[in-house]
């Protein structure tokens, strides 16, 4: 028998050693039971508490306020056309969600073979409280073929107009989260410039094209929010 076999035999034959091993195994079992308890009881309670939180459906109803203005702009000039939403819309709705701006025009000189003029429009990020840095904004455009220029500004932060579901909170909490009359307050400034494209007959003394009439349509989209438990 080797010396190693003797050591193992002595270890298990001595009463003190058996007590040490017994304590060790008891401690190991306690640790395993503790971790099992944490996982199956405490963690399960945490998961269950999350499942017990109420779910809510957040929905929106939209209301549009449309305003139209026409203006004649001289060749090479820039005109600032302003818009302010009606105060009553802020009072009667949860928030101002989106602003759509359409700039339309036709060639109005009446001259033969006169091409469309070039119109550029920029919605300046000044004067009104809005989500100006939203990546989905479209704040400028140019047209040289009489096509309508369409601009889009997100006014209420994170507003998309789409219904969605949430977990936690209560109905009033979610309604308050989407109720704020400060977004959209102030004056929106639209900068419009016209560059006249002369007709082929422009050399004739009686033929000239010096300006263009531009029509701007503002559509302010307000919304009411509702929250219901599902």
Residue 190 and residue 225 share a domain? yes
Collect all residues with Cβ–Cβ distance below 8 Å to 193 and sequence separation of at least 6: 73, 76, 77, 78, 79, 119, 120, 121
Closest CA to 60 of 162, 184, 154, 169: 162
Mean pLDDT of 16-42: 69
pLDDT of 228 higher than 90: yes
- Tell me the per-residue pLDDT of 56-112, one tens digit each, with 9 for 90 and over: 999 999 999 999 999 999 999 999 999 999 999 999 999 999 999 999 998 765 555
pLDDT attached to residue 207 = 45
Closest CA to 155 of 88, 216, 217, 218: 218
Residue 163 and residue 134 share a domain? yes
Collect all residues with Cβ–Cβ distance below 8 Å to 98 and sequence separation of at least 6: 152, 153, 154, 155, 156, 159, 161, 220, 221
Length of the chain: 230
Residue 146 and residue 40 share a domain? no
pLDDT attached to residue 46 = 58
Site of tokens 């704040």: 139
Strand 118-124 and strand 140-143: pairing?
antiparallel
- Contact (Cβ atoms closer than 8 angstroms) between residue 211 and residue 76: no
- Sorting pLDDT into bands at 50, 70 and 90, what band is 3? low
Residue 208 belongs to domain with CATH number: 2.60.120.380
pLDDT attached to residue 190 = 98
Residue 158 and residue 100 share a domain? yes
pLDDT attached to residue 68 = 98
φ, ψ of residue 68 in degrees (nearest 5): -125, 140
Residue 80 and residue 112 share a domain? yes
Domain count, the chain: 2
Residue 175 and residue 189 share a domain? yes
Q: Which domain, by its residues, includes 25? A: 3-51
Calculate the average pLDDT of the chain.
85
């Amino acid at each position: 028998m080797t010396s190693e076999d003797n050591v193992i035999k002595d270890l298990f034959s001595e009463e003190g050693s058996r007590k040490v091993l017994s304590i060790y195994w008891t401690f190991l079992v306690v640790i395993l039971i503790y971790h099992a308890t944490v996982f199956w009881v405490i963690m399960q309670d945490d998961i269950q508490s999350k499942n017990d939180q109420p779910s809510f459906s957040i929905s929106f109803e939209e209301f549009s306020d449309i305003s139209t203005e026409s203006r004649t702009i001289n060749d090479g000039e820039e005109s600032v056309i302003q818009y302010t939403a009606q105060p009553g819309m802020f009072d009667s709705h949860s928030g101002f969600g989106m602003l759509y701006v359409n700039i339309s025009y036709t060639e109005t000189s009446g001259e033969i073979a006169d091409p469309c003029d070039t119109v550029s429009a920029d919605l300046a990020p000044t004067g009104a409280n809005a989500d100006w840095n939203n990546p989905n904004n479209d704040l400028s455009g140019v047209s040289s073929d009489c096509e309508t220029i369409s601009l889009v500004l997100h006014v209420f932060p994170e507003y998309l107009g789409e219904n969605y579901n949430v977990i936690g909170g209560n109905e009033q909490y979610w309604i308050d989260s989407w109720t704020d009359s400060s977004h959209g307050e102030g004056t929106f400034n639209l900068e419009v410039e016209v560059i006249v494209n002369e007709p082929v007959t422009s050399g004739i003394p009686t033929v000239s094209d010096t300006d263009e009439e531009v029509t701007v349509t503002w559509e302010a989209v307000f919304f009411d929010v509702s929250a219901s438990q599902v």
